[in-house]
Amino acid sequence: MSITTSGIRNIAVCGHGGTGKTTLTEGLLFGGGIIPKRESVDKGQTVSDFTEEEIAKKISIHTSIEHINWNNTKINIFDTPGSSDFVGEVVAALRVADSALVLLGADVGVQIQTIKIWRRLDARHMPRFVFVNKMDKEHADFDKAAADIKDKFKSSVIAVTLPIGSGSSFKGIIDLVDKKAYMYSKEGKEIEETEIPSEFKDQAEEYRQQLIETAAEGDDKLIEKYFDEGTLSREEIIKGLRKGITENKIVPIFAGSAELNSGLKVMLDILSETAPFPFNEEKASTADGKEITRKYDESEPFSAFVFKTTIDQFTGKLSLVKIISGKITPDSDILNVNADKKEKLSKIYTIQGKKLEEAEELIAGDIGCFAKLGSVKTNDSLCAIDSPIVFPPLQIPQPVHSLAVSAKVKKDEDKLNQLLIRAAEEDLTFKLHFNKETKENVISGMGEQHISIILDKIREKQKIEIETWVPKVAYRETITASAGAEHLHKKQTGGHGQYAKVVLEIKPLPRGEKFKFVNAIVGGAISRGYIPGVEKGILEGMEAGYLAGYPIVDIEAKVVDGKEHPVDSSELAFKLASRGALKDAVAKAKPVLLEPVMNLFVFVDDQYLGDVLSDLSSRRGRVLGQEPIGGGIQEIKAQVPQSELLRYSIDLRSITSGTAAFEMEFSHYNPITGKAAEDVIKAAKTEKEHS
C-alpha cells in the first residue's frame, strides 16, 4: 500500500503495569491481518514480548514496534512497558509518537504510572485516547474509570464506545458514532451490525448526544449546524473529533476487553480517522547553532532522528529512526551530524516486533530501521549530506538505583566492562561510570529490577560471575573558618637538595565555587616560575583530603610569602611545601565533611503516606511539601542525604507493597557533623588501614 505522511498514525500504547497493553497490541495485529491468531503473554508467544527475559518474566521490558494497515492508513504501534523501571523506553516512544493510547484497568482505574504518563503527555502537549480495558473482570466499572480520568486530570473526556454489561455479564460494546453493537463470541470474533440491545438504547442515545455536542464544539460551522438541526452527520462528528483531538482539547474514551478481542475494531476505525498524523514542526538547530524548525514534509531535504539503538546477534547494531522530513531509499549516502561522519545505507527496514521487513522507501513521519551504521547512536540526527540539521536529544530521567560492580574473576573484568558499555548504549537510563574517588565501577538504573535484568542476562549468556555491593558515597570536605600556615620543605640527599618555604592563607568560598588560587607574592619571595608548582601542590592536597581522604572543595588559597634557595629550590620542592602548608592550615580552619543531598519526589497511595513520611524522617530527610495529584495519590517533595537512599528503591517497594514510585536528582552538598560524620571518618580510616 502506497502511503503519504498524512496517512501515517504513530501511536504509543501506554499504561500502568498489568493493564493489558501487550494483549491489546496482539489484538490489533490480529485485527489488522498481520497474525493468524492471537497469542497470550503467559505462553510467551506474543509479537511484542519476544526477548528471552520478557518471555521468562511475562512483562514488557522494551518498547516493541509493530504496524498495521487499516482504512488506507498505516498505524505504527509502540507497545511500551508499564513498570517505572523501564520508563526510558516510554520516553523514547513518546518522543516519536504523535498520539498516545492510555490503557486503564476497568477494575482499578487511575494508578500511579497512569498519573506519571499523563504528566509526560501534558508536558509534550500530546493528543491522547483512553481504552478502558478488562470490562469482563470483576468490579469493572466504565463510568467510574471515565470519571476518574475526568476528575484527576481535569480532562474533557468523551465516550466513543460503551460497554454492554460488565464483569461476568459483559457481552460487547456499543459504537456511538455508527449506532451499532458488537457482541463478542467465544472464538474471539465480533459480530458486526447487531442492533443495540433495547435495554441500552436510552443510555446509548444520551451518550451519543454528548459525543455530538463535543464534536460540534471543535468547529464554529459545526456548532451552527448543531444549533440549527440538533445533530451532525457521521462525517461531521469525525471532523469535529479530529480537530478537538489534534488540538488536545478532548480525550476520546473506549470500552472493551483486549483479552476477548472486544472493542478493538471500532477503536481502530476511530483511530485511523481521528488520530493526528505527523504534522507538528520539529524544533532543530543548524550546524552553527541557529534555531530552526523542520516540517514533516516529503518535499523537504531528508532528515531523521535516532530514538533507540539495539544490538541484534545476527544483524548487528540497529538504529531505530523516525523520518522527520523528505524520504530515504536503500543505498543512499547520509550524514550523521552529531559525529560529523558520512554513512552509506544499504537496506532500510520497517519493524514488526522482532522481524525486520525490507522497505523500498521511508517517508516523512514514518518509523524505520537502519542497520550497521558504525558512528550512529541514540539521539543522533541523520540528514542529507548537503543539509545538516540537529534535533534535540531525548529528555531521559536520572537513574535512581546504583550498585558497585566487578567481575569475580579478574580476567573477566574487561569483558564485563565492554558488555556494560554496550548495555548503556542500548538503554540510556542505564549508566556506567568509574568513580575515581571511591575506585569503584558503578552502574545505575531506574530500579532494582532494571539493573538485575541487565546483569542476569550477562551472567547467563556470557557465563561471567558478577559481584555487586552498595556503592560508597562521594563525600567532600571543606573548611568553615579562615586560617593560615607556613611550611618549610627541606631535604638534603647528596648533590642538590630540596628547599622551599610557603606561607599560605585559606578561607571558605560559597558552596559550589570549588577553588580559587590567589598569588599575593610581592618582592619576588617566590620566583614566578615556581608559582605553578605551588598551585599544583595545593590542588593535590585538596584531592587527598584531610578528615577522611575525600576531596576538599570551596576554598580560596592565597600564597602570601615564602622563601627559596638559589640551588636547592625546584617546582617539586614548592609543590611539596604548599601541600604541607595546606594541610597545616586546614587543621586550623575548622574542617567539616560535606555529603551529597538529593531532591526526592515520591508518588504514593494515600494509605501509605504516613509510613513513607515516617521513613523519610528516619533517613534524615527534610520534607518540603506534599500535595494530592489525583487518583488517591500524593506527591511528596523532600531533600534526603544520598547515603540514606542507596537502597531506597528496594525499601520503598517493601513499605508500599510495590505500589509507589519515585524520582530523584542531585541537589547540593551539605555539612555533616556529629555521629554521622564520625562514622564516615571512622569507616574511611578503617578502609585505609586494610588497603
What is the identity of the amino acid at 611?
D
**Within a domain: 221:** no
Query: Residue 119: is it exposed, middle or buried by C-beta count within 10 angstroms (0-12/13-18/19+)?
Result: middle
Q: Which of 589, 611, 638 is the last residue of a domain?
A: 589
Answer yes or no: do 146 and 269 share one domain: yes
Answer yes or no: do 63 and 122 share one domain: yes
pLDDT tens, position by position, 526-546: 998 999 999 999 999 999 999
pLDDT tens, position by position, 580-614: 999 999 999 999 999 999 999 999 988 999 999 99
CA distance 73 to 90: 24
| pLDDT value at 566 more than 70 | yes
The CATH number of whichever domain residue 430 belongs to comes to 3.30.70.870
Q: Which three cell numbers stand for residue 217?
A: 464544539
Q: Which three cell numbers stand for residue 442?
A: 558503578
Percentage of residues in the chain with pLDDT exceeding 90? Answer: 71
| pLDDT value at 1 more than 70 | no
Please state the pTM of the whole predicted model.
Answer: 0.83
Looking at the DSSP assignment, which residues form a beta bridge with residue 641? 597
Q: Which three cell numbers stand for residue 13?
A: 500504547
Residue for cell digits 563525600? 475
pLDDT tens, position by position, 56-104: 888 998 999 999 999 999 999 999 999 888 999 999 999 999 999 999 9
CA angle at 31 for the pair 34 and 64, rounded to the nearest 5°? 55
The CATH number of whichever domain residue 362 belongs to comes to 2.40.30.10
Contact (Cβ atoms closer than 8 angstroms) between residue 127 and residue 277: no
DSSP conformation class of 160? S
Answer yes or no: do 374 and 411 share one domain: no
Number of domains in the chain: 5
pLDDT tens, position by position, 163-203: 999 999 999 999 999 999 999 876 555 667 789 999 999 99
CA distance 14 to 495: 77
pLDDT tens, position by position, 405-441: 999 999 999 999 999 999 998 999 999 999 887 889 9
Answer yes or no: do 159 and 32 share one domain: yes
Q: How far apart are the first and last CA of the chain?
A: 68
**Within a domain: 486:** yes
Local confidence band at 485 (pLDDT 50, 70, 90 cut-offs): very high
Give the structural domain span for 328.
Answer: 282-383
CA–CA distance from 409 to each of 321, 419, 564 (Å)?
39, 15, 51
| pLDDT value at 688 more than 90 | no
Residue for cell digits 508467544? 45
**Within a domain: 99:** yes
**Within a domain: 216:** no
> Residues near 315 by Cβ (< 8 Å), separated by ≥ 6?
356, 371, 372
Residue for cell digits 481535569? 154
**3 state DSSP class of 464:** coil
What does pLDDT average to over the chain?
A: 91
**Within a domain: 410:** yes
**Within a domain: 200:** no
| pLDDT value at 495 more than 70 | no
| pLDDT value at 632 more than 90 | no
The CATH number of whichever domain residue 648 belongs to comes to 3.30.70.240
pLDDT tens, position by position, 138-159: 999 999 999 999 988 888 999 9
Answer yes or no: do 151 and 64 share one domain: yes
Answer yes or no: do 538 and 647 share one domain: no
- Please tell me the predicted confidence (pLDDT) of residue 630: 67
Answer yes or no: do 505 and 534 share one domain: yes
For every residue of 298-313, DSSP letters joined together read: TTSPPEEEEEEEEEET
CA distance 537 to 530: 11
Nearest to 403 by CA among 647, 667, 658: 647
Looking at the DSSP assignment, which residues form a beta bridge with residue 66? 77
| pLDDT value at 119 more than 80 | yes
Q: Which of 563, 589, 615 is the last residue of a domain?
A: 589
Q: Which three cell numbers stand for residue 629?
A: 495529584
What angle, 0 to 180 degrees and rounded to 10, lies between the N-to-C axes of helices 21-31 and 264-274?
80
Q: Which of 222, 240, 274 is the last residue of a domain?
A: 274
Answer yes or no: do 363 and 415 share one domain: no
**Within a domain: 239:** no
- Please tell me the predicted confidence (pLDDT) of residue 12: 98
**Within a domain: 90:** yes
For every residue of 619-659, DSSP letters joined together read: TT-EEEEEEEEETTEEEEEEEEEGGG-TTHHHHHHHHTTT-
CA–CA distance from 23 to each of 9, 42, 259, 572 (Å)?
20, 10, 6, 70
Answer yes or no: do 581 and 466 share one domain: no
CA angle at 261 for the pair 181 and 29, rounded to the nearest 5°? 120
Please indicate whether residue 1 or residue 378 has the higher confidence score (pLDDT).
378
- Please tell me the predicted confidence (pLDDT) of residue 152: 84
Local confidence band at 286 (pLDDT 50, 70, 90 cut-offs): confident
Answer yes or no: do 527 and 501 share one domain: yes
CA distance 95 to 76: 14
The CATH number of whichever domain residue 189 belongs to comes to 3.40.50.300
The CATH number of whichever domain residue 509 belongs to comes to 3.30.230.10
Answer yes or no: do 146 and 66 share one domain: yes
Answer yes or no: do 21 and 153 share one domain: yes
